[in-house]
């Protein structure tokens, strides 16, 4: 009799430790989701800033074209062409980063309710107890899919923003070259 009670205590403690560990994983996924959500908004802000900068740069480039003698040399024409291409790419990549996407939201009440319904379908008390131990783990699996999806979208946004910023670097280098040609040519 004593052996059964010791075994029951060990099993109960193991179940409690398992459930506590699963709850910790679930909490980690929830925190990561909040961080990814904040990063998503930050990335949108960077994409908007890059698009605005590219648009302003494009307007300045077009205004620069109205100056006499700007396109006198092949080098100045080539630099201006690189600048315009860089700006067009910067705007295009920024728009790609800002495009509307289908986002997977955090697990809904219906998702969690589905887990609880599946949990309550245990035919015996022992089966119900066993399923209850893994409830947090099952909910964590729902969050894992959500977090993974959001992480992937953020990486895609970041890639497009970095591409837009590199395009702006190409533009800046071209415009600097164009300015130097104009100043040194005078």
pTM score, whole prediction: 0.76
- Mean pLDDT score across all residues of the chain: 84
CA distance readout (Å), 139 to 11, 132, 135: 22, 11, 6
- Segment 125-155, tens digit of pLDDT: 667 766 776 777 888 888 999 999 999 999 9
Residue 175: its pLDDT value, please? 87
SS (H, E, C) the chain: CHHHHHHHHHHHHHHHHHHHHHHHHHHHHHHHHHHHHHHHHHHHHHHHHHHHHHHHHHHHHHHHHCCCCCCCCHHHHHHHHHHHHHHHHHHHHHHHHHCCCCCCCCCCHHHHHHHHHHHHCCCCHHHHHHHHHCHHHHHHHHHHHHHHHHHHHHHHHHHHHHHHHHHHHHHHHHHHHHHHHHHHHC
Whether 91 has a pLDDT exceeding 90, the answer reads yes
Residue 2's pLDDT band (cuts 50, 70, 90): very low
**Residue 72 sits in a domain of what CATH number?**
1.20.1270
Residue 118: which domain range?
A: 2-185
Q: How many domains, in total, are found in the chain? A: 1
Residues in the chain: 186
In this structure, are residues 33 and 147 in contact, taking their beta carbons and an 8 Å threshold?
yes
Percent above pLDDT 90 for the chain: 35
């Amino acid at each position: 009799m004593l052996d059964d009670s010791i075994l029951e205590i060990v099993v109960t403690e193991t179940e409690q430790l398992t459930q506590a560990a699963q709850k910790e994983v679930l909490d980690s996924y929830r925190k990561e989701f909040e961080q990814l959500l904040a990063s998503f908004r930050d990335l949108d802000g960077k994409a908007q800033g890059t698009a605005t900068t590219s648009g302003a740069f494009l307007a300045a480039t077009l205004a620069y074209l109205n100056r006499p003698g700007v396109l006198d040399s092949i080098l100045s024409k080539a630099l201006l062409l690189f600048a315009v291409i860089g700006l067009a790419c910067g705007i295009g990549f920024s728009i790609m980063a800002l495009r509307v996407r289908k986002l997977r939201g955090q697990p809904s009440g219906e998702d969690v309710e589905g887990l609880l319904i599946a949990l309550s379908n245990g035919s015996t008390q022992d089966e119900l107890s066993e399923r209850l131990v893994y409830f947090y783990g099952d909910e964590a699996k729902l969050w894992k899919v959500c977090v993974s999806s959001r992480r992937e979208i953020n990486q895609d946004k970041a890639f497009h923003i970095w591409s837009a910023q590199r395009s702006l670097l190409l533009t800046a280098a071209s415009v600097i070259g164009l300015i130097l040609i104009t100043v040194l040519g005078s």
